[in-house]
Amino acid sequence: MIRNTQHGFLPLKTISLSIIFIIGLNCVILLEHFGNGLILFNEGGFIETVTAQAFIFSGILLLSRLLQKNGIERDLTALFGVTCLLFFVREVDMEKLDVPAIFQFLGADLGRDCLFGLGYAILLVRLYLQTKGTLVSTMKTCLRSVVSITVIIGCVLLLIGALCEKSDFVFAEELFEMNGALLIALGAIIHINTPIFSPKS
């Protein structure tokens, strides 16, 4: 089990079952794609839907637990959650959804950039003020957490997906992005009981 110095323990069973699910989902998609010729990577298709749902699930899960966090951990959780929501609104075409105009404006282009830019600025200033003089050591500690490692791997897969997009490998792009989103969602689940920042780690 993964030790959590603040809230107890997180069973490895949770992580293992999640990884098994991700592997199984990939096997099904590859079988359907190469074996049955089923197109799952089209715009708004199955793979893209899974990716978007993983991001919105992560964002809601993280932000819903803010009141249970304190100090720097609350700001790190908020930063994580806001990033997941940003990934979500970039994944979907908000202007094409049947939602109020204000959500379409805030979820696309200038409105999105202003909203999330302001949110990031506030959170980063708060983090800087809380870690003044210890910022580097704090970040090093955060990067050693299992939450951060899981999310970093997920972000690497998102980056690979972006590179595939530039090379017009659409299926590989969508598959890498889906796996990256699912690993980020796994990081959010792990974060339920495991801190990002633990001074004793």
Q: Taking residues 128-148, report their average pLDDT.
A: 89
User: Is the Cβ–Cβ distance between 139 and 196 less than 8 Å?
Assistant: no
* pLDDT at residue 179 in the model: 97
Instruction: Report how far residue 75's alpha carbon sits from residue 28's, in angstroms, rounded to the nearest whole number.
Output: 38
CA 119 to each of CA 15, 115, 125: distance values in angstroms, whole numbers, following the listed order: 30, 6, 10
pLDDT of residue 47: 93
pLDDT of 98? 74
Assess if residue 195 is contained within a domain.
no
Report how far apart, in Å, the C-alpha atoms of 104 and of each of 6, 48, 113, 118, 134 are.
39, 19, 13, 18, 40
Q: Is residue 198 part of a domain?
A: no
Whether the per-residue pLDDT at 8 is higher than 70: the answer is no
Q: Could you report the per-residue pLDDT of 98-117, keeping only the tens digit for each?
A: 777 787 777 777 888 888 99
Percent of the chain with pLDDT over 90: 55
**Structural domain for 32, as ranges:** 2-190
pLDDT for residue 10: 54
Taking residues 31-50, what's their average pLDDT? 86
**pTM reported for the whole predicted model:** 0.87
- Domain membership of residue 196 (yes or no) is no
> Can you give the pLDDT at residue 90?
87
Task: Name the domain count of the chain.
Answer: 1
* Predicted pLDDT of residue 200: 65
Q: Is residue 172 part of a domain?
A: yes
Query: Is the residue at 199 inside a domain?
Result: no
More confident site: 57 or 198: 57
Winning range, highest mean pLDDT, from 14-18, 53-57, 102-106, 120-124:
53-57
Q: In this structure, what token pair is assigned to residue 122?
A: 């506030």
* Residue 53, pLDDT score: 96
Place of tokens 């994944």: 91
AA identity, residue 188: A
Residue 97: is its pLDDT beyond 80? Answer: no
Residue 74 reports pLDDT greater than 70: yes
Q: Domain for residue 142, yes or no?
A: yes
Q: How far is CA 164 from the centre of its chain?
A: 19
**Mean pLDDT to the nearest integer, 147-174:** 92
CA max distance for the chain: 58
